[in-house]
Structure 1
Amino acid sequence: MYQLKITKNTDALALQHFNNVKGRLLDDINYFLSGKNRIMNKEKISILRDKPSEDLLRYLSKEENLKELIVSHPDKLRCIISKLHSDAFDSSKILNRILYHIFIVFGYNDKCFNKDDFYRQSQVGTCPYCNMVDIHYTPATAFSKTEKGELDHFYPKEKYPMLGLSFYNLIPSCPSCNDFQHKNNWDVTSDKEDASLTPMKIINPYEYQDSHFFFDYNLKSHWENAENGDVYILGTDIQADTKDKINCRL
């Protein structure tokens, strides 16, 4: 893994991204708030008689609150997650399904979100999870098929649909790292109060630091059967032929 840096440029891109999608999102939010229903998977979904849905949608109907959701850095996204009603994470609940319709059906999967532009503007050329595979997005033409990497939802869209278009939750990645055997839709969190890493022990690439990882090498375990219990360590400023060795007693 390597770090995707948060800079003034990425924050500017996040704001541009918000301006591109806000109209579509606000339209669907206000549609639900008007009391109308949508059909998703042959099921009617509506906020009627569902207070958690009405409360959250009224909050998100204010542009500044919606903006915060879309452009917030990963640490702020964890704070947002920690304050959500539990129904927001449960796909059997109305709130989760309404959020899925707004942010995924009407958002991420809609033409209002241009994946081609997102890939191009992010300037992420190598998958940050494996640091091995080149990624890009080229839409299909009359003479060629679509070629693309993928956008991984760090917080999976099925459980966290409200983060489906949050800029710093969308990680350009390679198909291998995002396939069903690897990251895919696995939840990276242990619980919503500690939504940073865990059962999978994955860090959002925007928060990755080399200091998060260290290696512990136990020399004794490899030398315990040796006849000589001494290990000699040569410092970089010590010439081997000087015989001036540091004796490290195990």
Structure 2
Amino acid sequence: MYQLKITKNTERLALQHFNDVKERLLADIHHFLSGKHRIMRKVKIAIHGDKPCEDLLRHLSNEENLKELIVSHPDKLRDIISQLHPDAFNPEKKLNRILYHIFIIFGYEDDIFNKDVFYRQSQVGTCPYCNMADIHYTPATALSQTEKGVLDHFYPKEIYPMLGLSFYNLIPSCPSCNDVQHKSNKDVTSNKGDASLTSMRIINPYEYQDRNFFFDYNLKSHWENAGNSDVD
């Protein structure tokens, strides 16, 4: 793994990203708050007096609160996770399904979010997870298809749909690292009530530091003459 740096340019891109998606997200939030329903996977979803849903959507209907969600750094995203109602993480619950509709179906999977533009602007050329695969974006030509990596939701969108468009939750990566045998949709926290780095099994590339990983050894004798029993 290597670090994706947070710079003035990434901050600018995060704000631009928010401005690109905010109207679409606010429209769906207000749709639900007005008491109307949507159809998702052939099932009607609506607030219908669900207080956790209503409270959270009213909070997000404030543009500044929505902006905080979309542009916050990884440490702030952990704070947001720790304050969410448990229903937000459960795909069987209404709150999770409504958040999925707003941020994934109406947001991430909609044409309002141009993944190709996002990917190109990130200027990430090598997968930060494996630090091996070249993931430069190459447009399609008459003789070849588009070549590019994928966007990984560091906090997977099925469990954390509210973070589905959060800038620092979208990690350009290679298809191999994001396939079902590797990162994919695995939850990166062991305890949502304490979403600190100490409880995480994977570190967000925007937070990676060399000091996060170390090794130690004790050489008991001169290296050239050392046997297996001489090295701890």
* Helix, strand or coil at the partner of 1:190: coil
What is the alpha-carbon distance in structure 2 between the residues aligned to residue 80 and residue 43 of structure 1? 28
Per the alignment, residue 171 of structure 1 pairs with 171
Matched residues, number:
230
Moved more, 54-63 or 144-153: 144-153
Contact residue 190 and residue 201 of structure 2 kept, 8 A = no
What is the alpha-carbon distance in structure 2 between the residues aligned to residue 183 and residue 198 of structure 1? 19
Per the normalisation by structure 2, the TM-score is 0.92
> 1:175 deviation in Å?
0.4
* Helix, strand or coil at the partner of 2:194: coil
What is the alpha-carbon distance in structure 1 between the residues aligned to residue 230 and residue 76 of structure 2? 51
* Helix, strand or coil at the partner of 2:32: helix
Residue pairs, 1:149-160, within 5 angstroms: 149-160=149-160
* Helix, strand or coil at the partner of 1:171: strand
Task: Give deviations 1:11-57, integer Å, cap 9, x for gaps.
Answer: 11000000000011001001111111011111110011211111100
What is the alpha-carbon distance in structure 2 between the residues aligned to residue 3 and residue 230 of structure 1? 35
> 1:142 deviation in Å?
6.1
Instruction: In structure 2, give the amino acid aligned to 1:204.
Output: N
* Helix, strand or coil at the partner of 1:36: coil
Q: Percent identity among equivalent residues?
A: 80
Instruction: In structure 1, give the amino acid aligned to 2:3.
Output: Q
What is the alpha-carbon distance in structure 1 between the residues aligned to residue 199 and residue 182 of structure 2? 13
What is the alpha-carbon distance in structure 1 between the residues aligned to residue 108 and residue 27 of structure 2? 15
Q: In structure 2, list runs of 5 or more residues that go unmatched.
A: none
| The structure with more strand, counted as a fraction of residues | 1
> 1:68 deviation in Å?
0.2
Whether 1:162 aligns to 2:168 is no
What is the alpha-carbon distance in structure 2 between the residues aligned to residue 61 and residue 145 of structure 1? 40
Q: In structure 1, list runs of 5 or more residues that go unmatched.
A: 232-249
Per the alignment, residue 182 of structure 2 pairs with 182
Contact residue 124 and residue 135 of structure 2 kept, 8 A = yes
> 1:216 deviation in Å?
1.9
Identify which of structures 1 and 2 has the higher relative contact order when contacts are C-alpha pairs closer than 8 Å and 6+ apart: 2
The structure whose Rg is larger is 1
| The structure with more helix, counted as a fraction of residues | 2
